[in-house]
Amino acid sequence: MGGFRYATGTWVYGTVGDRYLLGGYRQGLDIVESVKRISEIEGISGVEMIYPADFAAGVENVGEILAISGLDCCSVGVDLTGDPAWKYGSYSSRDPGTRSRAVRLTKETLDAAASLGADGINVWPGEDGHDYPFQVDYRRSWEWFRECLTEVADHRPDMKVCLEYKPREPRARSLVSTACKAALICGETWRGNVGVTIDVGHALQAGESMAESVDLLARAGLLYHVHLNDNYRGWDDDMVVGSVHTVEFLELAHALIKAGYEGWLSIDVYPYREDPAAVVGESLKFMEGIFSLHDRIGAETIEASLEGEDPLSLLARVREAMLG
Amino acid sequence: MGGFRYATGTWVYGTVGDRYLLGGYRQGLDIVESVKRISEIEGISGVEMIYPADFAAGVENVGEILAISGLDCCSVGVDLTGDPAWKYGSYSSRDPGTRSRAVRLTKETLDAAASLGADGINVWPGEDGHDYPFQVDYRRSWEWFRECLTEVADHRPDMKVCLEYKPREPRARSLVSTACKAALICGETWRGNVGVTIDVGHALQAGESMAESVDLLARAGLLYHVHLNDNYRGWDDDMVVGSVHTVEFLELAHALIKAGYEGWLSIDVYPYREDPAAVVGESLKFMEGIFSLHDRIGAETIEASLEGEDPLSLLARVREAMLG
Amino acid sequence: MGGFRYATGTWVYGTVGDRYLLGGYRQGLDIVESVKRISEIEGISGVEMIYPADFAAGVENVGEILAISGLDCCSVGVDLTGDPAWKYGSYSSRDPGTRSRAVRLTKETLDAAASLGADGINVWPGEDGHDYPFQVDYRRSWEWFRECLTEVADHRPDMKVCLEYKPREPRARSLVSTACKAALICGETWRGNVGVTIDVGHALQAGESMAESVDLLARAGLLYHVHLNDNYRGWDDDMVVGSVHTVEFLELAHALIKAGYEGWLSIDVYPYREDPAAVVGESLKFMEGIFSLHDRIGAETIEASLEGEDPLSLLARVREAMLG
Amino acid sequence: MGGFRYATGTWVYGTVGDRYLLGGYRQGLDIVESVKRISEIEGISGVEMIYPADFAAGVENVGEILAISGLDCCSVGVDLTGDPAWKYGSYSSRDPGTRSRAVRLTKETLDAAASLGADGINVWPGEDGHDYPFQVDYRRSWEWFRECLTEVADHRPDMKVCLEYKPREPRARSLVSTACKAALICGETWRGNVGVTIDVGHALQAGESMAESVDLLARAGLLYHVHLNDNYRGWDDDMVVGSVHTVEFLELAHALIKAGYEGWLSIDVYPYREDPAAVVGESLKFMEGIFSLHDRIGAETIEASLEGEDPLSLLARVREAMLG
């Protein structure tokens, strides 16, 4: 196996809805019950939390809940989408007050994450971007975003700030939309604790090769965190890992191993209609199956194949290992 | 101008949110206030309502509200997405009880619409479809859907049942996904009061030409209702009409006029962040501007151009009329 | 196994190029050599030919070549894209002369196919459609297309006319773009020998579920012919079957078996850079592996799963069978 | 007006075909005739050439042809797709010999461009990328590419090396796929004469906002060259500018003016079926119309609007200016 540690987010037991069913397909559980249920999913040893929603009763309270559950806190995500205050952006908002509130919230998230023993936080700036032509000054948006990101990083040089890119949704166009755009803005902070979260579903949505993005981020020292899910490309369906793609997940597994990635594999799914534990559990088992397939084929075999110009022999090898 | 009547939906003043902000970017208004505000948008003479949400106080109550507002009821949409009961589909649900509840709700919608003087209802079966491979038996889904649609049509042969297609969302794959799939299933009911609602944003999302779909539906006698909005293709952004596309809206205008369409143009936008009246009002003004552009160019000029093989002369004519 | 017969097209040994390399990545072989090489691919028992290109030396000559090779002629495709004469369409061309030449060529194709013992021909009208707004009169295009298709069908009521749909390429928008659009126009001919070729890569490109399209075409009695290849969705990459998708091909296999499909599985790939025999051979072996996986899981297991609402148990079963 | 200089490429008079019609929709003209015809398109004052194809009779010969035509050489593109030798990539090829041939060809292109008085060359590495999973070692591909790009830049520090990104085609996945990926690899050369060519159709194909990419490249000092065309997003249709989009081209115009861009606007269209001069001419007139619309609205009005949070007022202003 890959020896990877698996986590999932508390949101899988949240109120999961969509714009046509704001009341939710299912009512969310409280933090105690959510963490308990997550701890019961075989193979999961960490939990990714959301600040401030999961911290209503204080960070000590969360610490106790985690201690009882036996789960590690793998990361804490700062919520920059769940309040209408961010509707025109957080770090890139025109409004200085909004930007400073977003920065302050992120600093609190860093402190909370540190208290819980996590080595970093997740920053997904979903509302930063635009819907309409002529809606934002792209250059200033970039500058403001970069400034806030830098300030956040300086608050806790000992903690990783993991910037998660996504091409779109909820905005029609995201500011931090691709692996390389994320890498560029991280680089412009000139801080050593700012890197990238690759949500592989966002990579698919952006038309990227998941493995290539992992390779290139790792090469730049920016591969900080990984979110796993699957989709039909073109949209962030947040489905069970492996329900659509297979070969490319094997290629992803190879890239993660080659990169020496030692972080968490956090299963970031959105169980609209299915049972959250089943969705997370099946995703985890699929990944373990993929790593075991990788073992059977062998990293050397793959590397040797990459030396040559024929991709078909390896595809044949993969097929034999999967289908006999 | 085209002499078309414009409407919009009560949902533009509803609680508009998304999966990350279930609480909404803005709190919805009650039906009285929503209708009042819609009536104040210049050029709007009709309102598209939702059953049962808008009818909590009874259909007579809605009738009075409309009377006061001076608006016509252009259509009533049956809500087949706003309750978790429909999560695995309505007319195509495996569960006979669910199907019959969906049919019953639609019949009530027909009755309500008839009471209000509308000539039809809108059926958008957003939850009918699938997310995962191996999730549904496609053939049975189709049969069940067709049966329910037929039963609904027979409840009120004097009322139009307008089936709205959409390629995806909220399901990853919709059952009624394209203009021709909608036309096929309408045809299979063998009922003369079942036709299609074209939401032009759904047409763009499906990779269709808006004008072609209008032309083909009209040719089959199935062009029943029209929803207007705009997007970047690939997703149903429900943006201000004309904020992205121009020339294709002119082509759509030509198709509507050529089809002799006498129904409503219902502006179906989702004002996540912007003012609903501004979004609807600007959409309407854009369409009026497009019809006036069509007048200036002339239907005959366009028809003459379509006789030949050169699309560029007409594009030049359009450019001159728009940009001087 | 599925007991299916496999074929491939002579074009895999043709001059394969693209718009930037019109001279080709590889020079095409003559018909004798192409058929010989195809006959050497393990598991291939049929060949799909192109009229008129493959018939330069006469249909008897082709018959002899096939006899020597031991291959059956699975189908003959009429070439409606390889001549600039079709640049504005074939059956839907404004020009009556062009339409009648297209019909005549198709009739010749029917005769040639019949001579070779094939039970049908393939009609892929790649140039029928449009690029620009205001380029065609959609309704007349549809009528002309339907008329020509009907005339073609009447030439040989004993032969199947298989209409292949594709959303786009070479035109920006194809006339016959989706499974349901193809079904509609076939139905409008009111001829019993007109059906649909599903190229599963075109189905993916159109955002369709491959299995759903097979199910619905089979239900309508229109599942005439199958082309196999794979892609990243969104474009017709014509890649090795199974190089991108796995689970959905298993679902496709189930749909083909359930439909009682007895036609050919014709591997329609475009080996731009790789060895044609390797691309076809690997595709065939993948499909055989998929059918064997289907056997191991069992059609009854799948059908039983489709009765219920839980797609995850079957995904787990598939995963176990593939990854252990 | 914008005061921009317009050019187009010699390829508009080349043999324009596609993979189904390798012989071409139209036969290409020789360089003398191509340049002559381009010089006759009103408003065109420059020509973008291709090396080595256009230089068969020597660079002096080309110089004379240009002198006679009165056209400037706006750029010379090195042809890294028109020979099967590049089928697995040029600068990123595994084969050192292939890489060094690609570098040598580019150096010759630089020399040729310098001789003709152009200030730079265009490098579009269409074959660099991959089709299949497990086909390339992404990290080494990146390194090799960067090394070659650096070597090329050092050959002529006085000349601009303009790297053109494109998400895909002819490869299923390009190495240099987005504006930010191009910016990253340019930055990694640490050379002051390496920047980016934005083909706005490639930006649309990549899901980018054209204006945002221009803004961000300009901010980084990397906005070197501009190719203009239009498409339906999702594919590089290379259509007449303005045949699909309008408002976003106005936003692009604003971005170009704001950036102080002083380079050429090179109309890079692919006139498959239409007359090349008409396609180029109409594109140019559309852009001039857009710049004139920009003048009428006023850069200050746009800038003032960007200060606030309301994009609709400006859309209304644009509509009034276009549609009255």
Shortest CA distance from C248: residue in chain B? B133
Which of C212, C204, C293 has its CA nearest to residue C245?
C204
**CATH level 3 topology of D5-323:** TIM Barrel (3.20.20)
Chain D: closest CA distance from residue C90 (Å) = 14
Q: Mean pLDDT score of chain D, rounded to an integer?
A: 97
Looking at residue D3, what is its pLDDT? 81
Q: Mean pLDDT score of chain C, rounded to an integer?
A: 97
Tens-digit pLDDT string for chain B (324 aa) = 458 999 999 999 999 999 999 999 999 999 999 999 999 999 999 999 999 999 999 999 999 999 999 999 999 999 999 999 999 999 999 999 999 999 999 999 999 999 999 999 999 999 999 999 999 999 999 999 999 999 999 999 999 999 999 999 999 999 999 999 999 999 999 999 999 999 999 999 999 999 999 999 999 999 999 999 999 999 999 999 999 999 999 999 999 999 999 999 999 999 999 999 999 999 999 999 999 999 999 999 999 999 998 999 999 999 999 999
Share of chain D above pLDDT 90, in %: 98
Shortest CA distance from A310: residue in chain C? C274
Looking at residue D2, what is its pLDDT? 55
Chain A: closest CA distance from residue D69 (Å) = 39
Shortest CA distance from B241: residue in chain D? D315
Q: Does B16 touch chain A (CB under 8 A)?
A: yes
At C3, the pLDDT band (50, 70, 90 cuts) reads confident
Cβ atoms of D47 and D74 closer than 8 Å: yes
At D1, the pLDDT band (50, 70, 90 cuts) reads very low
Cβ separation A323–C286 shorter than 8 A: yes
Shortest CA distance from D28: residue in chain C? C22
Looking at residue D99, what is its pLDDT? 98
- Phi/psi for C258 (5° steps) reads -60, -35
**Which residues, listed in sequence order, are joined to residue C130 by a DSSP beta bridge?**
C173
Cβ separation B170–A22 shorter than 8 A: no
Q: Measured between alpha carbons, how far apart are the two ends of chain A, in Å?
A: 20
Query: Which residues from chain B sit within 8 angstroms of residue A132, using beta carbons?
Result: 239-240, 243
Q: Does B134 touch chain A (CB under 8 A)?
A: no
Give the integer Cα–Cα distance in Å for A287 and A54: 27
Q: Measured between alpha carbons, how far apart are the two ends of chain B, in Å?
A: 20
pTM recorded for the entire structure: 0.98
Shortest CA distance from C278: residue in chain A? A312
Query: Which residues from chain B sit within 8 angstroms of residue C173, using beta carbons?
Result: 207, 209, 212
Name the strand (E) or helix (H) holding A264. Answer: strand A264-267
Give the integer Cα–Cα distance in Å for A47 and A7: 5
Mean pLDDT value across residues C163-185? 98
Looking at residue C248, what is its pLDDT? 98
Query: Which residues from chain A sit within 8 angstroms of residue C289, using beta carbons?
Result: 319, 322-324
Which B residues in the span 57-86 are in contact with C, Cβ-Cβ below 8 Å? none
Q: Mean pLDDT score of chain A, rounded to an integer?
A: 97
Residue that has been written with the tokens 């501004």 in this structure: B278
Q: Where are the domains of chain D?
A: 5-323
The pLDDT tens digits for A130-184 are 999 999 999 999 999 999 999 999 999 999 999 999 999 999 999 999 999 999 9
Q: Measured between alpha carbons, how far apart are the two ends of chain D, in Å?
A: 20
Query: Which residues from chain A sit within 8 angstroms of residue B16, using beta carbons?
Result: 19
Find the CB nearest D322 among B248, B278, B322: B322
Looking at residue B148, what is its pLDDT? 98
Q: Does D306 touch chain B (CB under 8 A)?
A: no
pLDDT reading at A315 higher than 70: yes
Half-sphere exposure of B19 (CA within 13 A, CB side): 20
Token reading at D3: 């005061």
pLDDT reading at C2 higher than 70: no
Q: Which residues of C96-132 are buried (b: 16+ CB within 10 A; e: fewer)?
A: eebbebbbebbbbbbbbbbebebbbbbbbbbbbbbbb
Token reading at B266: 């219902």
Mean pLDDT value across residues D91-112? 98
Shortest CA distance from D293: residue in chain B? B323
Cβ separation B131–A20 shorter than 8 A: no
Subunits close to B (at least 3 CB pairs below 8 A)? A, C, D
Shortest CA distance from D175: residue in chain A? A212
Q: What is the ipTM of this complex?
A: 0.97
Query: Which residues from chain D sit within 8 angstroms of residue C87, using beta carbons?
Result: 25, 272-273
Residues 6+ apart with CB under 8 A from B159: B110, B113, B114, B118, B119, B120, B121, B193
Q: Does D246 touch chain B (CB under 8 A)?
A: yes
Subunits close to D (at least 3 CB pairs below 8 A)? A, B, C
Q: Among C127, C131, C180, C317, pick the best mutation site for testing chain B contact (most B Cβ within 10 A).
A: C180
Amino acid at A75: S
Q: Strands C264-267, C194-199: parallel, antiparallel or unpaired by DSSP?
A: unpaired
The pLDDT tens digits for A268-309 are 999 999 999 999 999 999 999 999 999 999 999 999 999 998
Cβ separation D206–A207 shorter than 8 A: yes
Q: Among C233, C273, C279, pick the best mutation site for testing chain D contact (most D Cβ within 10 A).
A: C273
Subunits close to C (at least 3 CB pairs below 8 A)? A, B, D
Cβ atoms of B287 and B228 closer than 8 Å: yes
Q: Does C195 touch chain B (CB under 8 A)?
A: no
Query: Which residues from chain B sit within 8 angstroms of residue C180, using beta carbons?
Result: 178, 180-181, 183-184
In Å, what is the CA distance from B25 to each residue of A22, B37, B270, D35?
Answer: 11, 18, 11, 57
Q: Does C248 touch chain A (CB under 8 A)?
A: yes
Looking at residue B1, what is its pLDDT? 47
Give the integer Cα–Cα distance in Å for A28 and A216: 37
Give the integer Cα–Cα distance in Å for D7 and C319: 56
Amino acid at C109: T
Residue that has been written with the tokens 């991280």 in this structure: A186
Amino acid at B204: L
Give the integer Cα–Cα distance in Å for B292 and B294: 5
The pLDDT tens digits for D146-175 are 999 999 999 999 999 999 999 999 999 999
Find the CB nearest B138 among C94, C211, C307: C211
Cβ atoms of D214 and D256 closer than 8 Å: yes
Mean pLDDT value across residues C54-64? 97
The pLDDT tens digits for B46-79 are 999 999 999 999 999 999 999 999 999 999 999 9
